Each structure stands twice: as structure tokens, then as C-alpha cells.
Chain A
Amino acid sequence: MNVVLLGLPNVGKSAVLNRLTGSNYIISNYPGTSIEILNTEFKIGNQNITLFDTPGIYSLFSDRDEAQMIRKFLQDNHIDLIIQVVDAVDLERNLVLSYELKDLGHPFLVLLNQIDRVRMMGQAIDTKRLSRILEVPVLPFSANSGEGVTELLDVLGNQKFFCRVEEGGEKIRRVYLDRSFVCSGDCSHCLSDHGVCPVASDELIRTQKARETAMAVSQQVHPARKHWLDKAERWVDQPVLGTFLLLGIAYLGFVILLQFINWSEGPLTAALEPVGQAIESWLLAVLPGSYVGRVLARAIPEGLVIPFTIIMPAMLMVSFLMAILEDTGLLPRYSVALERFGRLFGISGQAIIPLSLGFGCRTPAVLATRIMPNEAQRFITVTLLSIVIPCAATVGIMAMVVSAFGASLLVLVTTMLVTMLVLGSILSRLMPMEHEFIYELPPLRVPIGSNVWDKIKIRFSGFFTEVLPLLLIMSIIIRALMESGFFALFQGMESFTRTLFGIPSEAFIAVLITVFQRYLAPLVLLNIPLTPREATIAISMIALSLPCLPVMVMTIRELGVRRLVQILGMGFATSFTVGVLLNILLPV
């Protein structure tokens, strides 16, 4: 049996799916978390159910990509039941979609999710009455507490939703997904000829009905319980004060991140040292005197140190901070607070969400650019992600290079910011596009521990499957090349790289390695002697370079090869320009 969860953004569709099936889909407190239709199988008794999670939509008939995707999905697949997940706190707006579903004539039921919050606010919803009005089952539910799960499973297991009352020929009107109509002509609100029902008035009628229904079924039963979050929301949503608060929080996060890396490095290094030594002496004993033995004995302990002491803490802390921003509902508030500022540089406020997700990992962030309002903005955002934003692993290793050579963090951060603004301005000049900003702000919430933990696990899993193995291999390759005198071959480039960028040729090779993976490049730097100035320039060139391979693949999938080639071209150009400019600007 195919069951689809539909609903407005951020109402808790993914949370409902996780609650029913025990899956671990990402749940976040902002509209636009889920961007794809994903499905999970589960069983009730001996009934097999395929449950689909979908991106949030405000209207089935919207022109937005998500709605188009869902329309196509509903047309192409056999769907037994639609479960409309409703944010019960915001009944009126959610019921508009219910009336659309009703007009569609497809079996559906309404899940009044977040019913816990309705109670908190001292309100009550008459579900029986709502069910009578909509002529579909209505179930109170809370994905957080698990309330209503048994009832829902009962309805699904026994297929109770099929007993929809359709009194003799009463059902006179149907809207199809392609917006055509079937109408027997005598429905109250469709007095004009068939098919000419103006869609606009149709929408207004649904809005009207939703308002009346919401009024009829909800009432205030006792005064709302005061919650400190309401007060916090009032503070954060004040334009000026709120913006300063948000900037303060961002700065605090940055400080916490650097402090955490600093603080954990000592103990971790101490713990790793004996392990490294054991591996080294073991390798030297097994492969005595050989080139291979020498390379491995040095490379493997080295290759373990950086991932474990620097990148692991960085990835953990970034995942944690991101989860907090996402789950509290602060993240989209940055979009609003920085909208005006971003606009000056041609970057839409909405870009804040994918750009900050990129600090975790840039690959899913490219996917998240789907929330951008149009293609031009999307391309600009993907470009900035690819060239400017460092992922957690890169942040870690950049921090390492900065502290190892005493490079200037201030220069690095400033260069990155300036580059982002300049790139944004140039791109938005090239493809100007009037766009209107409209975005729903989620309520502030206290993050749920288990949810934060799940997200840290999802984002951190890449450490063992990708970052650690890659860094180990890279470390062996670099060691092998150094021992074999390979780098000496590039001595000829020395005068070229020195005059142009003020860095030695080996450091330039490091910059070129970003073609494979940005966080591997600084590894080369750590193996060569550099002055603080050289290190600052080299790390800035690495920090502003190319997307990594997984991002490239995702970019091709989402935007096409042509766009990727453009981004790569801009990446090289940016990196080299930054090198030349810093070489001119930085005092020797």
C-alpha cells in the first residue's frame, strides 16, 4: 500500500515518518528541510506499507518546483492514501491545502500534528467536527510525544479511511492535478460554465472555507501557558536588536569552534602518540630498511594525527553548532536579518541556509540550494558554496595550518568574506534577476537532544567513511613523493610561483591538489617549511578554490555540466587572483 505524507513546510512530515517507521530522516526547524521524495517500507500486522516523505508545499497548484514535483509524483504513481500532516497550531493556513485535497477527490486523512503545542497555547480543536466538515478522518497527533500513533496505525492497518461518505451523487466537483475540472454544474460556488471556473476565485474560496472551518473548530479553553521562548522570540524578531543578537550568536559559535579545537588538540595528541609510535615501530620491524617501510612508517602515524586531533573535533563541533541553529529556528532568521546586506552584493537572504549548511558538508548543501527562488540565484549560491565555503573538514585543517605557521587568521577570514561579496556582485551583475523575498519564520523551539544527536551522527559518519581513509592515502602519497624527490622536479616553477604569488613551488602544488579535495591540500603545506606570509597566501588560495569531487557530481546532477565548467573556471580564476593580490598587498 502506498501512503504519501503531504503538507505545508515545517509541519513535521519527516518527524511523523521517523516516528512511524523508526527512520532517521533529517528533521529541522525551518521550512524546506526535505527536498526530495523519499520512501520507507514498514509493516502493520501483515500489511506492507510504503510511506513517502515529501518536501513541504503551500499549495498543490503552486508554480514552485516542489509542487510540480509532487504533482508529477501523484500522477505517475498509484497512491492509496494521502496523509496530510497539519500544523495544528496554524490550522487556518493548513486547511487551505486540505480543501485542495478534498477537491482533488483523492482518499486522504488529516493528521493534526504538534497537538502538544496547541495544548500549550491553551487551545482545543474539535476533531470530530473537523472530520465531519472535511468528510475525512482527523487524528490528533504529536511526533514529539508519540501521541496518536496507535490510532493512526489502527486506521492504516484496517484501512478505515476508505469508508468515505459519498452520499448519492453529492460529490459533484473535482479538480485534477493539471487543473482541469469536472463539474456537474450545480455546485454552489461554480455557477459559471464548466472549465471556466476562474482558478483565482477558486483559490479564494478555499481560503475562505479554511478560515471559517478553522474558526468553527478551534477555541481558547484556558489562557496560554507563558513560555520563555515567546519572550525570546520577541527579542530575536526585533529588527535591530535581533540582528545584533544573531550576529553575536554567530560570533560566539565561531569562538566556541576554535576554542574547542584548541582545547581538544592536546589530550587527543597525547592519546594518539603511543598508538602512532606502536604503528611506526611495527611497520619498521615488518618492512625493515625498505623504501616502502620508511614511507609507511612515517606517513601512517602522521596521517592519523591530523584527522583525529583536528578534523574530528572540527566536524563534531560544526555538526553540533549547525544542529542547534537548525533546530532552534534561528537559521532562517539570519536570512531575514541579512537580506538587505546580501542584496547589496546580489546574494539573496535565502542563500544563508544552503551556505551555512555548507559548513557541515557542501554536497548536501548544493541540494539545499533548491530552496532558492530562481535559477540565477541558485547558480550564484552554488558558485559561492563551491568556491568560498569551507566544509567542516576543511575548517579543521585550515585551523591547523594557521596555527602551525602562525599564518594570519584575520587575513584569511577577511579575504574569504571579501571574495564572497565581490564574486556575488559580479555574478548578480551578469545575471540580474528581480526576485521577491517571502519566507515563513518557524517558531523558536528548544532543540530535542536525540534529534541533535542523530544529526551529528549523520554528518559525522563521513569522517570514518571518507575523510579518514582519504587523508591516510593522501598522507602516504605525499610522503612517497617527498622521499622520491618528486617535488624537486618542480623547482623550475619556483621563480614563477614566487614572483606571482610569493609562495614556493611545493605550496603551489598544494593549491593544485584542491582539484581532488580541498581538505587534502593543506596537508602538503604541513610538510614543507613556510614563513607566516607564505602560509597565509597559500592557505587563502586553497580556501578559495574549487569544489571537491562529490560537489562536482552533485552540481552536474542539479545544474548540468555547463554550469559546473563555469564554476571550475571561476574557481581557478579566483584562487589565482587572490594569490596575486595578497602577494601585492601583504607586507613582506
Chain B
Amino acid sequence: MVSTQLKPGQKARVLSICGGRGIEKRMLEMGIVPGTEITLIGKHPFRGPVVFQVGNARIAVGRKMAESLEVEPEEAND
């Protein structure tokens, strides 16, 4: 599913980034690559940015960019 469909607090693993080489590269620089575990912190209303927790860092990603992030939610077992 697309990362913006995650609920706040939900964890997921990145499957792929499909927004072209430029976007892929900027995500990679921020430490978001296939396999990275991310947690959605919040989605700003009116298609505003989405904030993810990546490791111990918080990264705000523009909505369009976040939509290019395909993720697989982790089983909520807590």
C-alpha cells in the first residue's frame, strides 16, 4: 500500500520507491530505501506533508513524494 494510507503510529517496511531517479535519490540520502522501517507520525491536512520516523530521525516528506513510497505495514502485535 501507499505510505500515506498508513495510520498515525503505524509501522511499515518500505517496499519500493517509484517516483523516478531524482526522488529515489533524495529519499535514499535521507535514509529511506527499500527495506527501511518507517513509522508514520502524522499527516498534515489538505494534502500537506507527511512526517515519518526513520530510525531515530523525523523526516517530513511532501505529499506527492510520500505517495511514491510503496510500503508493507507490519503486523500490529502490541
**Chain A residues close to B by CB (< 8 Å):** 58-59, 62-63, 89-93, 96, 121, 203-204, 207-208, 211, 237-240, 242-243, 335-337, 339-340, 349, 436-441, 443
Contacts and interface: CB of A to CB of B under 8 A. Distances in A.
Given A96-B31, A207-B28, A336-B49, A239 B23 contact: no
Given A237-B42, A436-B23, A349 B31 contact: no
Contacts of B64: 436
Contacts of A238: 42
B23 A93 contact: no
Contact of A349 (B43, B47, B49, B54): B49
Contacts of B48: 239, 336-337, 339-340
Contact of B59 (A121, A240, A242, A440): A440
A335 B48 CA distance: 11
Nearest to A434: B64
Nearest to A204: B33
7 contacts: A93-B55, A207-B33, A239-B42, A436-B26, A436-B64, A440-B58, A441-B57
B57 A440 contact: yes
B77 interface: no
Contacts, number: 96
A416 B23 CA distance: 35
A339 B62 contact: yes
Contacts of A203: 28
Contact of B45 (A59, A62, A90, A240): A240
A177 B3 CA distance: 34
Nearest to A121: B56
Interface in B27-71: 27-31, 33-35, 41-49, 51, 54-62, 64-65
Contact of A439 (B33, B54, B60): B60
A561 to B, nearest CB: 31
Contacts of A121: 56
A66 to B, nearest CB: 11
A349 B47 CA distance: 13
A92 B62 contact: no
Q: For chain B, which range describes its interface: under 10, 10 to 19, 20 to 34, or 35 or more residues?
A: 20 to 34
B29 A59 contact: yes
A63 B26 CA distance: 9
B16 to A, nearest CB: 12
B49 A90 contact: no
A219 to B, nearest CB: 14
Which secondary structure dominates chain A's binding surface? helix
A237 B27 contact: no
A421 B78 CA distance: 46
A328 to B, nearest CB: 14
B17 to A, nearest CB: 11
Contacts of B47: 340
A438 B51 contact: no
B24 to A, nearest CB: 8
Given A437-B60, A437-B61, A438-B59, A239 B28 contact: no
Nearest to A67: B29
Contacts of B56: 89-90, 121
A92 B31 contact: yes
B25 interface: yes
A437 B30 contact: no
A336 B60 contact: yes
B42 A63 contact: no
A440 B30 contact: yes
A239 B31 contact: no
Contacts of A441: 51, 57-60
Contacts of B27: 438
A208 B25 CA distance: 15
Given A237-B58, A239-B44, 15 more contacts: A62-B29, A63-B25, A89-B56, A93-B54, A93-B57, A203-B28, A204-B34, A239-B42, A335-B60, A339-B49, A339-B62, A436-B22, A437-B62, A437-B65, A438-B30
A437 B64 CA distance: 9
B26 A438 contact: yes
Contact of B49 (A63, A437, A443): A437
A239 B45 contact: yes
Nearest to A337: B44
B4 to A, nearest CB: 12
Contacts of A437: 49, 60-62, 65
